[in-house]
Structure 1
Amino acid sequence: MAGQLSGRVALVTGAARGIGLAIATRFAEAGAHAIIHDRDEAAATATATDLRTRGLAASPLIADLAEATAPLAMAAELTANGTEPDILVLCASVENLQTWDAISEAAMAAQTQINLHATVRLLQVFVPAMLARGSGRVIAIGSVQEARPNPTHVYYAATKAAQTNMILNLARTLRAPDVTCNIIQPGAILTDRNRAVLAQPGRQEQVLARIPLGRLGRADDCAGIALLLCSPEGSYINGAEIAVDGGLRL
């Protein structure tokens, strides 16, 4: 609904494509100023330009979350532009497909750095201002892999489960009347990241057989619940783990 997020500023990490793009777009359509974060400058700039062409408020924010100083630099730029976020969506992640006996040091380091370390840094940088204002929303994009991991996702699933634990910890301990922390756990969503995997012979049929609804999800399927969590109607939802997976976790 237009105007649901009027006056709000939403920072969505990894927002140049996939689920992040769908959520940032829905927020902008609801009246928020969408901060399109990505390490891909061309993609983030193009996304923000497209939204502004539609008469929506959006700005690109370029940063590599693998760098420990990135969140502080992001905050400084947003403060200078007068766009401090009161909504933070943690969507950027690294997903390496390796079995438990073949996980490389590089894969472990990359997934830990983005999925866990960057999460902590972003929370440390942006949540204090929400607490000071007395209002804010934090959403982490988890994964169905937390509940039903594949053999090739053992480490990725572990990092996502750890991220969820962090968010639930904050949901319980921040104790601010209007600062909520929730998790959206997508299932098999047809994003660019998943297309190559699903294109493997027989893979899509195998996945569809496990989904009670019998179809793959769309990135937009995650945007509506994100909007609810950040709207006035969702203000009493805190510490929720919301699956958007067509029943795949069952």
Structure 2
Amino acid sequence: MNVGSLFDLSGRIALVTGSSTGIGFALGQGLARAGAKVVLNGREPGKLALAADRIRQEGLSVHEIAFDVTDSNAVKPAIERIENEIGSIDILINNAGMQFRAPLEDYPEDAWHALMKTNVDSVFYVGQAVAKQMIPRGRGKIINICSVQSELGRPSIAPYSATKGAVKMLTKGMAIDWGKHGLQVNGIGPGYFKTELNRALVEDKAFSDWLIGRTPSRRWGELEDLVGAAIFLASDASNFVNGQIIYVDGGVTASL
């Protein structure tokens, strides 16, 4: 067995939702560097084009397609377009997500619904649409981006934790229903990473000092720390890994 070939994504097509910035972009770039033809997704065509250009400048294969992952009527034709114009989707990373912080007793109802649509509905809509294409082919990799909040709570983010707990269990359910068709569905649970979503926390010295002291690895996560797990779950190296969540968190979920 050629161990290197286990992780080689050459010739495979990967769709990454919410990938114009942050974790989604880092994962798309990482899969492209591993040989995949990557399709970036977002709602803003301008930001998406800039992200694709960054990857294209490395001589890597990338496409972009703008559509709203929270709208099932937009998702279905977008997936069909990718399949018809670019090729069969071998890998899906459901990354699109949002955060909104507020005390639970004052949490706005519209923010609750927005979180549910973005963090949970999108995983169902895109996952189902892509799986319907993968199932007849008898193969496919789906990776859902969970969170340490799939397991742990924090003040002011109870609804976010609820969404990420739901994504964890939806991941397991997808693996159970679609494993018999040759699909592997797993999740990645990032810890605290230096992203635009967490800028306020990174710049809050008290929180940052607390987090570093709370994390066994004694640092914030860097985006490149997530790439290896994504390549593993997208590649043949994980062909008998199904329904699992890999927490890339520096040890936060292992420590009280």
Distance in 2 between the 1:152 and 1:241 partners? 24
Distance in 1 between the 2:205 and 2:179 partners? 49
Identity among equivalent positions (%) equals 29
Distance in 2 between the 1:165 and 1:230 partners? 20
Higher mean Cα deviation, 80-89 or 228-237? 80-89
The correspondence of residues 130-145 of structure 1 with structure 2, limited to 5 A, is 130-145=134-149
Greater share of helix? 2
- Corresponding residue of 2:72: 68
Higher mean Cα deviation, 222-231 or 3-12? 3-12
Question: Is residue 79 of structure 1 aligned with residue 83 of structure 2?
Answer: yes
The correspondence of residues 27-176 of structure 1 with structure 2, limited to 5 A, is 27-176=31-180
Aligned partners of 2:179 and 2:242 also within 8 Å? no
Q: Residue type matched to 1:40 in 2?
A: E
Aligned partners of 2:102 and 2:157 also within 8 Å? yes
Q: Residue type matched to 1:124 in 2?
A: Q
Query: What count of residue pairs does the alignment treat as equivalent?
Result: 250
Higher mean Cα deviation, 108-117 or 170-179? 170-179
Aligned partners of 1:131 and 1:176 also within 8 Å? no
- Corresponding residue of 1:21: 25
Q: Note the C-alpha offset of 1:177.
A: 5.7
Q: Residue type matched to 1:208 in 2?
A: I
Distance in 1 between the 2:237 and 2:71 partners? 36
The normalised TM-score by structure 2 is 0.93
1:224 to 225, 228, 248: 228
Distance in 2 between the 1:115 and 1:218 partners? 22
SS of 1:174's partner is: helix
Q: Note the C-alpha offset of 1:51.
A: 1.6
Question: Is residue 11 of structure 1 aligned with residue 34 of structure 2?
Answer: no
Deviations 1:135-173 (A, max 9, x none): 100000101012221111100010111111111012122
Q: Structure 1, unaligned stretches of length 5 or more?
A: none
Distance in 1 between the 2:59 and 2:202 partners? 36
Please report the RMSD computed on the Cα atoms of aligned residues, expressed in angstroms. Answer: 1.6
Compared with structure 1, are the counterparts of its residues 73 and 173 closer, same or farther at alpha carbon in structure 2 (3 Å cutoff)?
Answer: closer
Runs of 4+ aligned structure 1 residues displaced above 4 Å come to none
Q: Note the C-alpha offset of 1:201.
A: 4.2
SS of 2:180's partner is: coil
SS of 2:20's partner is: coil
Distance in 1 between the 2:218 and 2:9 partners? 33
Higher mean Cα deviation, 185-194 or 51-60? 51-60
The normalised TM-score by structure 1 is 0.95
SS of 1:149's partner is: coil
Q: Residue type matched to 1:52 in 2?
A: R
